[in-house]
Amino acid sequence: MAKRTRDPEGRRKKILQAAGELIKEIGISAVTHRKVAERARVPLGSTTQYFRSLTDMLAEALTGLEEEREEKLVEFASEPDEADDPVVLVVDMVMESLSDLKRTRNEMSFALLYTTHPKLRRFIVPGDAALAERLSRNIPEATGRAVLAHCYGVLFQAVVQETVPPREEVEAALRRIIGDSVERADP
């Protein structure tokens, strides 16, 4: 019988990969040590051996998932400034998010979890800052924050009601929030 070689780093990676898959599939609030161990096909004790807490394990798994979100933010932030209609840019982002309610539900659960776990806070703050910075090219900063707050509300409501609002409705509300602030924005 061949002696089994230990691969702590390989096992740790399997655990993180399993946690990331589960986060996407069932949402962060439903992930448990047991589910991760089953998915990774490792003993249950391995999850606590490599990670002090479930929050620590989730934070590392989210680090990998965050790369995907960062790519979208970089793409949004690099959109050209000339003739930008900030409403259309934001509506496009909202509607893209609403095209997959399961993913959006999971992202909303991330955001809620970030509010209660300081270790996870680092994932939400930079994204919001990037979005606010991008919007401030066309509208005042305070208006940009109001737009973000409204967008979170639209996403949350869509997830809870399992209904996507019409694009025209989202756009009309954002136009009311932004109003004539596009002309008043500092260059």
Domains and CATH numbers, the chain: 7-58 (1.10.10.60), 79-184 (1.10.357.10)
Q: Supply the pTM of this predicted model.
A: 0.67
Per-residue pLDDT of the chain (187 residues; tens, 9 = 90+): 555 667 888 899 999 999 988 988 888 888 999 999 999 999 999 999 999 889 889 888 877 666 666 666 666 666 655 446 778 888 988 998 899 888 888 777 777 777 777 766 666 666 677 777 777 777 888 888 889 889 989 999 999 999 999 999 999 999 999 886 654 444 4
DSSP for 18-50 reads: HHHHHHHHH-GGG--HHHHHHHHTS-HHHHHHH
